[in-house]
Amino acid sequence: MFDKVLIANRGEIACRVIRTCKRLGVRTVAVYSEADADAMHVAMADEAYHIGGAAAADSYLRGNAIIEVAEQSGALAIHPGYGFLSENAGFARTCADVGLIFVGPPAKAIEAMGSKSAAKAIMEAAKVPLVPGYHGEDQDDAILAEAAERIGYPVLLKASAGGGGKGMRVVERASAFADALASARRESKAAFGDSHMLVEKYLTRPRHVEVQVFADTHGGCVHLFERDCSIQRRHQKVIEEAPAPGMTPELRRKMGEAAVNAAKAIGYVGAGTVEFLLDEDGSFYFMEMNTRLQVEHPVTEMITGQDLVEWQLRVAEGGHLPLSQDELGVDGHSMEARIYAEDPDRNFLPATGTLRRLRFPVEEPHVRVETGVREGDEVSIYYDPMIAKLVVWGEDRNAAVRLLRQALGEVKIAGLSTNVDFLASVAGHPAFMEGDVTTRFIEQHQAELLPEKGKASARVLALAALHVLVKRGDEARQAAAASADPHSPWAQTDGWRLNDDNHHELYFIDDGEEVCVTVHYRGDGYLLEVPQGEGRAAAELRAAGETDHNGDLLADVDGVRIKAVVSQHADELTIILHGSSHRLAVFDPAMRAAGQEAGTGRLTAPMPGKVVAVMVKEGQKVEQGVQLLVLEAMKMEHTITAPADGTVAAIHFAAGDQVDDGAELLSFEVVEE
Ligand code: ADP
C-alpha cells in the first residue's frame, strides 16, 4: 500500500478518504484554500499545505500547485475525491507524466465520458440503450430547435459538459425553446466554460437508477449493484438508496451487464458509475458515466460491506479487485440523505452562514454521519453547500426508512436554513415509504412536502419565551455573583419588581407579525399567556425550564417534559423540536423605528452573486411574473421576477456586476388597484 496519499479536495469527501487512509496506515496530505485554513480536513490530515485563495479556481483547481505539493511532501498518489479535478483528463495525464499515481481512471477514459454527447456516441456503438435525442456537433439554434421538434416535446436541454443538474432545462413547448436554450447555454458557459448542448426526449415518470462499477488494470471488471437516486430537486439528488426498490434479479443482471459493457468499452479502471433512466415499462437508457467516486457511494458500501475508497487505493497501486462478481452480494437496505444549507421554501436556493449549532445522531454501525464541518464553521459562497450526509442501514427497506426518519429527527442545525425538515417530510411520506419513487417525486408531492410554514404553535412560543427567561436568569445570577451585594433586590431573578403585579411582556416577530407573550412569575416557574392559532387567541401554559450542559433547553410545558434546541444569534431565534424547526425574532418594542413598513418595492439579491442578465429597462411597465433580472450564484441562475403588475423605477446594477447579499437590485413601483 502507498506510504502517503495527497487528497486534492476538501469537505466531507476529503475527510472520508482520510478516514480510510488512517485505517490502512497510509499517511495523508491535505491541501487547503485561504478560506479553509481551519477546516476539518486540514485538522484530520497528517500534513496540510496552503495552495491559494478561496475561489476554487485559485486553489482546489490549481493542478500544478497540487502536483508541486505532492512532490514536496513525498506523496506518491493523489486522490481527487469528486468534483474539482476528479474528472479533469488533463490533470490525470499530468500526474501520470510526472510519475504520480492519479487515483482514478486513465485520462483517456475520462475524456471519453467527459462530454455527454461523445459518451453517447461510444455507448451507441457498444449497444448500450440510449434515450432518443440529438447529440450532434452542429450547435446552430435552428438545428437544435429542429431536433427538438423531431424528438417531440417535452424535451430536455442538457449541457454536454454538464454535471450537478447545471445547464439543464425542461422545455414543454416550441415557443419556450429559444429562451430556455439561451439560459441553459449561459449557465453551462459559466459553470463549465463550454456551452455545447444536447437535446433529449424528456421522460415524464422515470427513475434514476445507477450502477456502481469497478475495474482493475488486469482486465477485471465487476458491478456492485444499483442505487436508486430518484429523489431529486433541481435535477440534483437529495436521497439515495441501495438496492433500488422493486428491483428484480433479471433487471439487475441486465443493467449490471450493460454497465460493465459500458466500462469495458472505454478501457475503464477504478470506481465509476453508469447512470440510467429506468422507464415505467422496465426499459432503461444510458444517461452518462461518472468517472469517479460518487457522493452517494456509502449506500453501496453499506449493502456490500466493502470500503470503496480502499478498493480505489488497491486498484490504483496495481492490485486485483478484492472480490469477484460471484463473491459480491446484497445484504439489507441502505439510505443516504444529503443535508444542505439551502431554503426549500425558496426553491431550494443555496444558503450561506455560520453553523451556530451543529449536532448529529451518535454514530454507530448502522448510522453513519459523513461531514467535513464542525459547529462554528462557515458555509460560504465558495463551495458546495452540502453540510453532511446521513447514511443508515436496515435489514429491509422498511427498517432503513424508519431509521432514517429517526436519525433526521436527531439532527440539530441552527444559524442558517437547511433542508433537514424537508428531508424528514420526504422520509415520512407514504409514497416514499412504499418505494413509489420517480424523479418527479418532489414536484408531484410538493404540497405535502413543503407545507406553508405558518405561525408558531403555542408550544414553540412558550419555548422561545422560556429561552429568553432562562437566559436572563443566568445573566442576572452571573451579575449578582460578580456584584458587591449579592443580596440586593436588583439581583433577584424571580421577576421581583417594586410596585409591580409580577408580570411582564416579551415580544417576538413571527411570520411577519408582532406577537406578545405575557409572563407571570410563579414560585416554581412561569405562567405564560401565549397567543395561538390564526386569530392568535391567548392560551395559558405553565412553564419551567433550564439549560443543560449541552446548551439544550430542558423544559416542562403544562406537565410535558420537552428537550429542545433554542439557538440565538443577535435577535434571531431558531427553535428545533423533534426534527422540525421554527424561526422567530426577539423584538424590543422600545427599539421600534417609526414607519418601517414593508412593501417598499425594493427587490433585493437573495444571496451574493453576479448579475448575468437584465431583461428590462428603467421606466418599463411589466406584468406580475415577468422576468426582470438573472443573478448567478453558486454557479446557478436565479431569476428575479416582478412581484406584481408595476413599473421598473430604477435598475441599480448591470450585467457583469457583483452584488452582495441583500443588495437592492431594482426599485419597483406597484400599480395600485
Ligand atoms: P448531471 O450530469 O447534470 O447530473 P444527468 O444527465 O445525470 O445530469 O441528469 C440529472 C437528472 O436529470 C437525472 O437524474 C434525471 O432525474 C433527470 N434527467 C436526465 N435526463 C432525463 C430525461 N431524458 N428525461 C427525464 N429526466 C431526465
14 close to 370: Cβ distance less than 8 angstroms: no
Per-residue pLDDT reduced to its tens digit, 156-169:
999 999 887 889 99
Mean pLDDT within 478-498: 62
Q: How many helices (H) and strands (E) does the chain have?
A: 17, 39
CA 195 vs. chain centroid, Å, equals: 25
Range 458-590 has CATH code 1.10.3720.10: no
Q: Specify the residue with its C-alpha closest to ligand 1, atom 16.
A: 439
Q: Specify the residue with its C-alpha closest to ligand 1, atom 12.
A: 235
The answer to which of 14-28, 106-120, 415-429, 592-606 has the lowest mean pLDDT is 592-606
Q: Which atom of ligand 1 is nearest to the CA of 204?
A: 25
Question: Distance, CA 235 to ligand 1 centroid (Å)?
Answer: 6
- CATH topology of 4-103 equal to that of 204-331? no
Q: Which atom of ligand 1 is nearest to the CA of 165?
A: 3
**In the predicted structure, residue 598 carries a pLDDT above the cut 70:** no
Of residues 367 and 499, more confidence is placed in 367
Mutation probe of ligand 1 site: the residue of 231, 439, 440 with most atoms within 8 A of C-beta: 439
Question: Distance, CA 286 to ligand 1 centroid (Å)?
Answer: 10
E strand or H helix at 670: strand 664-670
CA nearest neighbour of 230 among 425, 449, 436: 436
Question: Distance, CA 204 to ligand 1 centroid (Å)?
Answer: 11
Quote the pLDDT of residue 500.
Answer: 52
**What value, to the nearest 5°, has the Cα angle with vertex 633 and ends 181 and 411?**
120
Q: Which atom of ligand 1 is nearest to the CA of 116?
A: 6
Quote the pLDDT of residue 498.
Answer: 45
Quote the pLDDT of residue 495.
Answer: 53
Question: Distance, CA 49 to ligand 1 centroid (Å)?
Answer: 37
Q: Which triple of cell numbers denotes residue 256?
A: 449490471
**In the predicted structure, residue 49 carries a pLDDT above the cut 60:** yes
The answer to which of 31-40, 298-307, 578-587 has the lowest mean pLDDT is 578-587
Homologous superfamily of domain range 204-331? ATP-grasp fold, B domain (3.30.470.20)
**Entry pTM:** 0.84
Question: Distance, CA 154 to ligand 1 centroid (Å)?
Answer: 14
DSSP single-letter state for residue 342: E
413: which strand partners? 358
Range 4-103 has CATH code 3.40.50.20: yes
Contacts with 407 (C-beta within 8 Å, 6 or more apart), sequence order: 361, 367, 390, 392
Mutation probe of ligand 1 site: the residue of 187, 236, 287, 295 with most atoms within 8 A of C-beta: 287
Mean pLDDT within 187-204: 92
Quote the pLDDT of residue 593.
Answer: 39
Q: Which atom of ligand 1 is nearest to the CA of 232?
A: 16
Pocket of ligand 1 (CB under 6 A): 131, 156, 158, 162-166, 168, 200-203, 206, 208, 232, 235, 275, 277, 287-288, 439
Range 602-670 has CATH code 3.40.640.10: no
Quote the pLDDT of residue 601.
Answer: 64
Question: Distance, CA 7 to ligand 1 centroid (Å)?
Answer: 29
**In the predicted structure, residue 433 carries a pLDDT above the cut 50:** yes
Mean pLDDT within 563-583: 87
Quote the pLDDT of residue 340.
Answer: 98
**In the predicted structure, residue 489 carries a pLDDT above the cut 70:** no
Mean pLDDT within 433-461: 92
Question: Distance, CA 333 to ligand 1 centroid (Å)?
Answer: 24
Q: Which triple of cell numbers denotes residue 654?
A: 448591470
Mean pLDDT within 471-485: 79
**In the predicted structure, residue 174 carries a pLDDT above the cut 90:** yes
Mean pLDDT within 425-448: 96
**What value, to the nearest 5°, has the Cα angle with vertex 433 and ends 432 and 439?**
15
Quote the pLDDT of residue 112.
Answer: 93
**What value, to the nearest 5°, has the Cα angle with vertex 170 and ends 169 and 173?**
125
Quote the pLDDT of residue 590.
Answer: 61
CA distances (Å), origin 458, targets 461, 516, 557, 565, 576: 5, 11, 10, 16, 14
Q: Which atom of ligand 1 is nearest to the CA of 202?
A: 24
Q: Specify the residue with its C-alpha closest to ligand 1, atom 23.
A: 202
29 close to 75: Cβ distance less than 8 angstroms: yes
Quote the pLDDT of residue 638.
Answer: 76
Mutation probe of ligand 1 site: the residue of 188, 205, 235, 274 with most atoms within 8 A of C-beta: 235
Q: What is the mean pLDDT of the chain?
A: 91
Cβ neighbours, 10 Å, residue 549:
5
Question: Distance, CA 628 to ligand 1 centroid (Å)?
Answer: 28
**In the predicted structure, residue 466 carries a pLDDT above the cut 50:** yes
Contacts with 462 (C-beta within 8 Å, 6 or more apart), sequence order: 517, 528, 530, 541, 543, 555, 557
How far apart CA 106 and CA 22 sit, in angstroms, is 26
Class of the 338-452 domain? Answer: alpha beta
* Residue 191 pLDDT class (50, 70, 90 cuts): confident
* Domain residue spans of the chain: 4-103, 132-201, 204-331, 338-452, 458-590, 602-670
Place of cell 440510449: 130
CATH code for the domain defined by 132-201: 3.30.1490.20
Quote the pLDDT of residue 356.
Answer: 92
638: which strand partners? 631
Q: Which triple of cell numbers denotes residue 398?
A: 422498511
Quote the pLDDT of residue 490.
Answer: 54
Highest mean pLDDT among 318-322, 559-563, 574-578, 610-614: 318-322
* Residue 606 pLDDT class (50, 70, 90 cuts): confident
Q: Is 269 helix (H, G, I), strand (E, B) or coil?
A: coil
Question: 451 preceded by cis ω (within 30°)?
Answer: no
CA nearest neighbour of 204 among 131, 127, 142: 131
Q: Specify the residue with its C-alpha closest to ligand 1, atom 11.
A: 235
Of residues 567 and 476, more confidence is placed in 567
CA distances (Å), origin 356, targets 135, 172, 416, 550: 47, 43, 8, 13
How far apart CA 85 and CA 69 sit, in angstroms, is 15
Q: Based on the number of CB atoms within 10 Å of its own CB, is 658 exposed (0-12), middle (13-18) or buried (19 or more)? A: exposed
Of residues 11 and 117, more confidence is placed in 11
Quote the pLDDT of residue 634.
Answer: 65
* Helix extents (H) in 158-265: 177-192, 249-265
How far apart CA 151 and CA 434 sit, in angstroms, is 33
Per-residue pLDDT reduced to its tens digit, 246-271:
999 999 999 999 999 999 999 999 99
Question: Distance, CA 341 to ligand 1 centroid (Å)?
Answer: 23
Q: Specify the residue with its C-alpha closest to ligand 1, atom 21.
A: 202
How far apart CA 14 and CA 78 sit, in angstroms, is 11
Q: Specify the residue with its C-alpha closest to ligand 1, atom 14.
A: 208
Per-residue pLDDT reduced to its tens digit, 637-658:
777 888 888 899 999 999 989 8
CA distances (Å), origin 525, targets 202, 454, 519, 550: 61, 29, 10, 22
> Could you write out the DSSP letters of every residue in 369-420?
EEES--TT-EE-SSS--EEEEEEEEESSHHHHHHHHHHHHHT-EEESS-BSH
N-term to C-term CA, the chain: 74
**In the predicted structure, residue 597 carries a pLDDT above the cut 50:** no
Q: Which atom of ligand 1 is nearest to the CA of 229?
A: 14
**In the predicted structure, residue 273 carries a pLDDT above the cut 90:** yes
Quote the pLDDT of residue 484.
Answer: 65
Instruction: Give the active site residues.
Output: 292
Mutation probe of ligand 1 site: the residue of 115, 123, 208 with most atoms within 8 A of C-beta: 208
Mean pLDDT within 467-473: 89
- DSSP strand E in 87-206: where? 101-102, 133-134, 155-159, 169-171, 197-201
Contacts with 452 (C-beta within 8 Å, 6 or more apart), sequence order: none
Quote the pLDDT of residue 594.
Answer: 32
Mean pLDDT within 361-381: 96
Q: Specify the residue with its C-alpha closest to ligand 1, atom 2.
A: 163
Query: pLDDT exceeding 70 applies to what percent of the chain?
Result: 95
**In the predicted structure, residue 551 carries a pLDDT above the cut 60:** yes
382 close to 35: Cβ distance less than 8 angstroms: yes
E strand or H helix at 146: helix 141-151
Q: Specify the residue with its C-alpha closest to ligand 1, atom 6.
A: 287
